[in-house]
Amino acid sequence: MNSTAQTDIPLIRVETIRLVLNCAKNFFPAPLITKAIELLPSNLERPYLESIPEYAFIHFMQTLYQESDPHTFFDYIVDCTAQLSFMWPIPIDSKRNTLVSILNDVTEQFETRSSQSEIQLDLEGYQNQVKIHISTANDYENRYQGSAFWLEMKSLFFLIQYVRRLLGKDWLPLSVGLQHVDIERLDGELKLAKQGVFVDRESTYIVLSEEEAYQELNVKPYHYSLPEYDVLTTYHEQLSSALMPYIGERKLDLDSAAEILNTSRRTIQRKLNNEHTTFRKVIEQLQMQFAIRVLEDGRFSISDIASHLGYANSSKFIRAFKRITGLPPMQYAQLNGLSPRPAMNTSKASN
């Protein structure tokens, strides 16, 4: 939720998805969650996963929002954002530690590949007040129509929950400004501000007093370790990162990839063609990366892996593996001290 990444394929950290999914289990019935996770990878616990496509997350949240009552959904948002706020550290330095200095530091440090929320501090303020703005990428509404309402509430409560960690668990802003939320659609029991909630604003924001913004805080530093992102400068790198979680779980063709990414197959083909590669090459490369991980696990045979990845026979898989890695899989395994097992049920290979 810092400076919004400008990417062709927005991504969400897998740590975020794990948290919102686990939180949802406390609020929604299993059949609804099963419907909502349609576009999510089935196994989010694989240690090498970094991100999933942002649209899979949007689809998950939008389904919960559309098919549950507002009171339950907002309770979920409040609880979920309270937990998500702990993914932001509390950096403390030798300077005077205030809410403004901490927010400035943390928004600069937090990495994102998402098109979602960007936080900006308006330090000019008005009548001894400080305004904190939350905005999304310029193309967000066109990219994800219908999600602006709940996203705005999620972003708003994330910020409020983080500030509560610094100023106290019962803290509320003086006032709140909303872009997309019709006040009549809000849960009547939802307390957002001390003084007022203003709609049809140009940005989402919270207002607090200068005293709250600049008072010296007696808080302990808090560190939350998140893996650093690799810089993804090309479209095929972004596509590979987005589709990696689905390799070994489902067959990926252009149509299914386009659905997961909320784009068209023609767009995928055109952007890959601009980089002199093809969708088939990207998927084959990902499959070989998956195969190497399974070989290193040592529990599965070559024929198991070939079948699991959808190859008609082991020979085709072996040729593809050698073309990508330079070695046939058995030689790769031997050089790495691995002993693939005899053929067995491959349903566990995606674990």
Residue 146 scores a pLDDT above 90? no
Q: State mean pLDDT over 267-272.
A: 95
What are the tokens at 66? 């559309």
The residue among 343 and 126 whose pLDDT is bigger is 126
Spatial distance between the Cα atoms of 238 and 6, rounded to a whole number of angstroms: 11
Residue 222 scores a pLDDT above 90? no
Determine the number of helices (DSSP H) and then strands (DSSP E) in the chain: 15, 7
Name the band, by pLDDT with cuts 50, 70 and 90, for residue 126: low
The residue among 195 and 297 whose pLDDT is bigger is 195
Spatial distance between the Cα atoms of 132 and 80, rounded to a whole number of angstroms: 21
Q: State mean pLDDT over 125-137.
A: 77
Residue 280 scores a pLDDT above 90? yes
Residue 259 scores a pLDDT above 90? yes
Tell me what pLDDT residue 277 has: 95
End-to-end CA separation in angstroms for the chain:
30
Helix 148-167 to helix 99-109 angle (10° resolution) is 130
Question: Residues spanned by CATH 3.90.1520 within the chain?
Answer: 11-214
Q: State mean pLDDT over 217-232.
A: 75
Residue 262 scores a pLDDT above 80? yes
Spatial distance between the Cα atoms of 286 and 303, rounded to a whole number of angstroms: 18
Spatial distance between the Cα atoms of 200 and 166, rounded to a whole number of angstroms: 29
Tell me what pLDDT residue 275 has: 94
Q: Which residues contact 82 (CB under 8 A, 6 or more apart)?
A: 161
* Residue whose tokens read 């907002």: 74
Q: State mean pLDDT over 246-263.
A: 91
What are the tokens at 302? 């070559």
Class of domain 11-214: alpha beta
Spatial distance between the Cα atoms of 236 and 253, rounded to a whole number of angstroms: 15
Q: pLDDT tens digit string along 338-350?
A: 666 644 444 445 4
Tell me what pLDDT residue 232 has: 73
Tell me what pLDDT residue 351 has: 45
Tell me what pLDDT residue 103 has: 85
Mean pLDDT taken over the chain:
83
What are the tokens at 318? 């072996």
Topology adopted by domain 247-348: Arc Repressor Mutant, subunit A (1.10.10)
Give the predicted TM-score (pTM) of the model. 0.84
Tell me what pLDDT residue 208 has: 92
Asked if 98 and 213 count as a contact pair (C-beta separation under 8 A), the reply is: yes
The residue among 249 and 120 whose pLDDT is bigger is 249
Question: Residues spanned by CATH 1.10.10.60 within the chain?
Answer: 247-348
Q: pLDDT tens digit string along 80-107?
A: 999 999 888 887 765 668 888 888 887 7
Spatial distance between the Cα atoms of 316 and 310, rounded to a whole number of angstroms: 10
Note the residue count of the chain. 351
What are the tokens at 63? 């389904």
Name the band, by pLDDT with cuts 50, 70 and 90, for residue 140: low
Torsion of CA 286, 287, 292, 295, to 10 degrees: 160
